[in-house]
Amino acid sequence: MKTEKMFIGGEWVDSVSGNYFESVNPATGQAIASIPEGVRKDARMAIQSARQGFEQISRMSVWDRSKLLVSIAEVISRRREDLARVLTLEQGKPYYSEALDEIDGTVMAFADAAEQIKWLETSVIPVEDRNKRVLTIRQPKGVYAIITPWNFPFMVAAEYLAPGLAAGNAIVWVPAPTTSLCAIRLAECFEEAGVPVGVLNLVTGKGAVVGDEIVANPGTDAIGFTGSTATGHQIAVRGAGKPMLLELGGNGPTIVLKDADLDHAARMIASGCFYNAGQVCSATERILIHRDVHDEFVAKLVNHAKEIIIGDPFDQRTTMGPLNNEPVTLKNDIHAKDCLDKGAKILIGGKRAANKTSDLFFEPTVIVGVTEECLYNKEETFGPVAPVMSFSTHEEAVEIAARNNWGLVSSVFTSNLKDSMYFAENLRAGIVNINDSSNYWESHVPFGGVAGKASGVGRIGGKYSINEMSDLKTISLDLR
């Protein structure tokens, strides 16, 4: 088991605390690395380094920043298999069916940002005074505090790091403790690609310590965070006054109308429920089925759940690995028991998988008779679950969807164009996918919540991220 280091000021360093914590393989329970447990002093050193790094990257031309991002993408691509292996070891997702794809998506995120920043034009604005010219330019915000989760430790990091660097910011990055080894390996790629000293700084440790420091410290200028709504609220308080890009929890409904292609709907919804063992903020966690097709659809969904193979994430036959950690697995236990206590019926799954190499494997689960009082409806489960509710009218489906605190992603399955637009326009969600999984997204497409809900602030994705992570400056010229 290797003892790892943090990356601050262009150097690999231990924490000033001298303490470490273990990175654990969720599929086996075995420790795979020893990670520095950073403290506030480490975070402050990283912020100071980033302030110096900002002076360098902010002076780089757009074309030079683009070349840097291309270099990062090339290094990640070259190390594809090694990075995917670390991802499977530490996060738990299947190597062949998911981990390699995440690394490919990470490469794409950096390559996309490299192109987008070159063509992100601003405007010359017509004004009343004929002697004046008014134009706009984009400038970096400064030092960005970035905190990323464990469910997609490479891809979600890229969603902030790529546009953040493209816009000319320096970064102080705190990853989730349970996937810190993935972050260290990605930082190695940055170093190999020639990222200037101080531009990227990685601090590992507890979010309540080093994460809180980079959020609240006046040395950081802006904040990017993906994670739970509860943590997002804490960040909003501690970082009050700073620009924030927050992608928080989701539990938007997927709605199946009676005219939908049920085979297609069941296949897409199963993917939305069980991909990455359901550990996706856009996962399909509430399924609203029209009463006329309820039983037929549920039978198809159960069949898909039965086809899932749980096991060793490195086995090519495996299609679902373990959950990443005990707290999220315990939440799945609690939600399953809660629905039974409230009269729902579990058709398949609902418990931890027996005879596995760790206690974090959870069976793919389909539940019917779920009510609005169930935790499946009220909270983000973040597990391989398919909770089914029913409705009779379009209006009822929209009302059920609205009586929920989330507003990230919804899906609708129907063969009727008019009905699809009715739901697309009336569902309170930042994204509505028609006839596709709630997980459908590409790295250049805007992704985020909606006002009045608890799913975040701002938009991740392509040029939208670059816009969020830069300032629009107006310049007026008097030509008299």
Q: What are the residue numbers of the active site?
A: 247, 281
By the 10 Å C-beta count (0-12 exposed, 13-18 middle, 19+ buried), 11 is classed as: exposed
* CA-only gyration radius of the chain, Å: 23
Q: Which amino acid is at 72?
A: I
Identify any residues that bridge with 134 across adjacent strands, giving them in sequence order: 125, 476
Distance CA 412, CA 342 (A): 27
